[in-house]
A and B are shown apart, each in its own frame.
Chain A
Amino acid sequence: MGTEMEQERLLVVTDQVAVSVSAVFDAVKVVREGVEQIDPLIITQASLDSLLSVESSSIDDVVSLCKSLEFPSDQLLANLSRVLKPGGRILLYLTSQSEVQMANSSLERKLLLAGFLDIQSSGNKSVGVTGKKPSWKIGSSFSIKKTSQVLPKVQVDDDADLIDEDSLLTEEDLKKPQLPPSDCEVGSTRKACKNCTCGRAEAEEKVEKLGITMDQLNNPQSACGNCGLGDAFRCSTCPYKGLPPFKLGEKVTLSGNFLAADI
């Protein structure tokens, strides 16, 4: 606002139309000791536009005299944060009668969500919550951890007389290879991998049955004549695939090949 005073700048905002000086001082006492020297800027019926002319990071303390718990709105609160200097304090002071505990926690939450730190409720009698603007500027960068940016040295028993074999590979070689189209059985969709670990193979096993009827087993027929000769002669779509050889018309013995169940 153009004053060159050395003393700290104080901004008071309120949703009320008019506010008495004593009310202001009562609130300010919470954050300041000597109120006589202060010359606060007081904005009544404060809204978002009210702060347009206030420079960012120019205010040491903000006191908000709130009639309702809804004041200040989140957006106004963000603006108040803007004008506050880093490290500056804010006090939300409720002027109307209200349940102290509930009101305090509601105000605390407001400040918390707006990014203030060191949030404290000021006692049981009066309703007021203070907070502090974080002391780093928005947009400044700093390292979160102490990192050296240098990795520990590793002792390598070097074969200094051998070339680096990785240098023999080209960019092309290093790319993940394209799998050729799946060679699973004709017409099938995605199947479990050979060494499936995720459980798909087991699930598939449960779902698929033998795919052959009792009738076909009791009285096997073969149009092509090859089905009875055994797997070596059967087509890929033969219903008897996997079963032992049989003679036409004679029942197919399922346990014929003891090796299937053996070690």
Chain B
Amino acid sequence: MGSMEEKFDEQLLILYASQTGNAMDAAERLGREAERRGCPSVSVLSIDEFQPIDLPNKEAVIFIVSTTGQGDNPDSMKGFWRFLLQKNLTREWLKGVHYAVFGLGDSSYQKYNFVAKKLDKRLSDLGATAIIERGLGDDQHPSGHEGALDPWMSALWNMLYQKNHKLLPNGPDFVTPDATFLDQPKIQIIYHDVEEGIPPLSSAKELKYLETQVERARSMTPGKFSGNDRPDCFLKMTKNRLLSRPDSGKDVRHFEFDAVSSSIDYEVGGVLEVLPGQSPAALDAFIRRCSLNPESYITVQPRDAENHDFLNPPLSPVKLKSFIELTMDVASASPRRYFFEVMSYFATAEHEKERLQYFASPEGRDDLYQYNQKERRTVLEVLEDFPSVQMPFEWLVQLVPPLKTRAYSISSSHSAHPNQVHLTVSVVSWTTPYKRKRTGLCSAWLASLDPQQRVFIPAWFRKGSLPPPRPSLPLILIGPGTGCAPFHGFVEERALQSKTVSTAPIIFFFGCRSNNDDFLYRDFWLSHSQKNGVLSEDKGGGFYVAFSRDQPQKVYVQHKMREQSMKIWSLLTQGAAVYVAGSANKMPSDVFSVFEEIVSTESGVSREAALRWIRTLEKAGKYHVEAWS
């Protein structure tokens, strides 16, 4: 122990790889708990803010990593992971480094917590020493990942204390009494007297005004919206068409947008991120509840702006109401446990204070989960359930979940529709455990828009997991439900290309509930599968539909695929690429299984050999999956 203390700083580094914010939340909580136990130096960073080359110099590193549905790393971890996988790193490279891994995953997926498991093994293979066994958080647990996090954290403090007393100078169990201790908010608000901008008179000015507001507001909180402050463009909706049958129980829309602010460019298979609007009624209710003045102008800065590497020039103020509207999710996302903890400090009614403290405690964790996370309680609802709480605006800005963009697969080909972008969106709706009807924020908002109104939508273009194919590449596409969206773009594009160059065939497997209810884009697919179209059998292609509910037994895309076993194999031997897209969590693995079957049957090799061959296809960039839930 002695040599280690001389070599390293008494520093605890916490690195998180978060996709939806859960891992970040857990990491921040870990950091707070460490500080409360007197750890002299705690650093909480997103893993992409850390240079892996520095890893051997660290004394104690804690990794909090999420696994996405397909077993992949979060985007922020890809660079770090690539570095770690290098063959030339030796088994001694991380000698002397102490680490612990906590994973956030979902045991209903086959590849449960794969990211944490692989990271744990790799770190140990590289010579690092595990402080404790890896912890695996599970969304399926009654209290979500916190169920595993709490006991894992206690074990961590104990072992950390044993390894190095200086990390926790007051011992592992010492905690500053909760009742008196409240951290300071991390940000400060500055109110301005200056009024900015007279109400704009023309739509061009209106657009410009909106542009500046969006950019300013979203740049003010560094780190929260990295990559998503300045929109790539603004869109105006031109079509809002119902694709599914009314009263079918589904509401699937076809949206068309014109780009109004600047020229756009995207490829088929790409993704559009949209910033949703929030209900004016909800925003007003929030502002009233929090006793705020919507007309005041503010800037938001880190509290210790002088100490930060925050070199940007101070931003011009934004209207408080705009700031909330553009950056704070008040009527959709649920607040986190820490929100309840901070609320308890600002509750003046005794029974509310008690209840909030209970919710924030380990004993109340499960009840909090039932009331809040499972029920998808919104910030506004929580504040209204605890009416005596008056939280300062600084805390609200810090703790209200950030308004997130929503991503959708683009269903148009830019070549076929210049300056336009089309989406295929299913309006999300569900009933909560408490029997309340809820709808998805963005999908419902888009569905409510009237193309006659002038609403400008901030949007970003991203590459998805489906790289655009060359015209000469034969394609096997599987896209049930809204999974057909990117393939709508593929077919539009290839149909256009086929006019000037020779194109390879496409076979497309679509699935839906019923011919009458939700056969999305039926006429489009049928027209391209006739008369030498790109989906036609004459051209070596095909279009096959599985209607799951039109007969007593369920028929899914995988059943249709089996029927076309020879055709699929024939295309695979010609070097076809496979694209799978859709929204069910089991579908991609069911489809993968059918491929194993087909390859094995048609070529005569064993199932294991078929599996390995398909894995090679993945590595060669010939098997792509875009799955969402």
Contacts and interface: CB of A to CB of B under 8 A. Distances in A.
Interface of A: 143, 145, 147-152, 154-158, 161-163, 165-166, 168-169, 173, 176-180, 183, 185, 193, 195, 197-199, 201-202, 205, 208, 210-211, 229-233, 236, 241-242, 245, 257-263
B476 interface: no
Contacts of A161: 86-88
B370 A236 contact: yes
21 contacts: A147-B604, A148-B603, A151-B605, A151-B609, A154-B613, A161-B86, A161-B88, A163-B86, A165-B85, A168-B118, A183-B141, A195-B583, A205-B431, A231-B375, A231-B377, A232-B371, A232-B386, A241-B435, A242-B436, A259-B381, A261-B437
Contact of B434 (A178, A231, A258, A259): A231
A197 to B, nearest CB: 5
A232 B349 CA distance: 14
B435 A210 contact: yes
Contacts of A173: 114, 117
B609 A176 contact: no
A161 B89 CA distance: 10
Interface string B543-576: 0000011000010000000000000000011010
Nearest to A158: B619
Contacts of A176: 110
B604 A263 contact: no
Max chain A Cβ within 10 angstroms of own Cβ: one of B141, B351, B604: B604
Nearest to A257: B381
B524 interface: no
Contacts of B86: 161-163
Contact of A259 (B87, B380, B444, B602): B380
A102 to B, nearest CB: 39
B140 A183 contact: yes
Contact of A163 (B85, B112, B377): B85
B448 A145 contact: no
Nearest to A233: B355
A262 B281 contact: yes
Max chain A Cβ within 10 angstroms of own Cβ: one of B117, B331, B629: B117
B21 interface: no
B378 A259 contact: yes
B583 A242 contact: no
A179 B107 contact: yes
Given A168-B118, A263-B279, A241 B434 contact: yes
A257 B279 CA distance: 14
B599 interface: yes
A163 B279 CA distance: 50
Given A168-B122, A177-B112, A185-B433, A202 B249 contact: yes
Q: Is the interface of A mostly helix, strand, loop or mixed?
A: loop
B616 interface: yes
B308 interface: no
Contacts of B209: none
A231 B385 contact: yes
Contacts of A236: 367, 370
Q: Is the interface of B mostly helix, strand, loop or mixed?
A: mixed
A152 B436 contact: no
A145 B142 CA distance: 53
B326 interface: no
B456 to A, nearest CB: 18
B469 to A, nearest CB: 16
Contacts of B140: 179-180, 183
Nearest to A199: B549
B584 A208 contact: no
B437 A260 contact: yes
Contacts of B585: 195
Contacts of A263: 278-279, 282, 331, 439, 441, 444-445, 448
B89 to A, nearest CB: 9
Nearest to A191: B433
A245 B609 contact: no
Contacts of B472: none
Contacts of A261: 437
A260 B604 contact: no
B389 to A, nearest CB: 11
A245 B388 CA distance: 14
B121 A169 contact: yes
A180 B548 CA distance: 30
Interface in B218-237: none
A5 to B, nearest CB: 45
Contacts of A208: 435
B382 interface: yes
Nearest to A226: B351
A154 B572 CA distance: 10
Contacts of B371: 231-232
B604 A149 contact: yes
Contacts of B81: 165
Please give me the 9 A-B residue pairs with the lowest Cβ-Cβ distance, nearest first.
A242-B434, A147-B604, A183-B142, A232-B385, A177-B107, A168-B121, A162-B85, A168-B118, A177-B112
B593 interface: no
Contact of A157 (B375, B599, B620): B620
B386 A260 contact: no
Contacts of B378: 259
A183 B107 CA distance: 13
Contacts of A205: 431
Contacts of B613: 151, 154
Nearest to A209: B435
Contacts of B432: 242
B361 interface: no
A85 B609 CA distance: 40
A152 B572 contact: yes
B617 interface: yes
A180 B107 contact: yes
A125 to B, nearest CB: 46
Contacts of B438: 260
Interface string B235-261: 000000000000001000000000000
A127 to B, nearest CB: 43
A147 B603 contact: yes
A177 to B, nearest CB: 4
A18 to B, nearest CB: 56
Contacts of B110: 176
B274 to A, nearest CB: 14
A247 to B, nearest CB: 13
Max chain B Cβ within 10 angstroms of own Cβ: one of A177, A193, A201, A261: A177
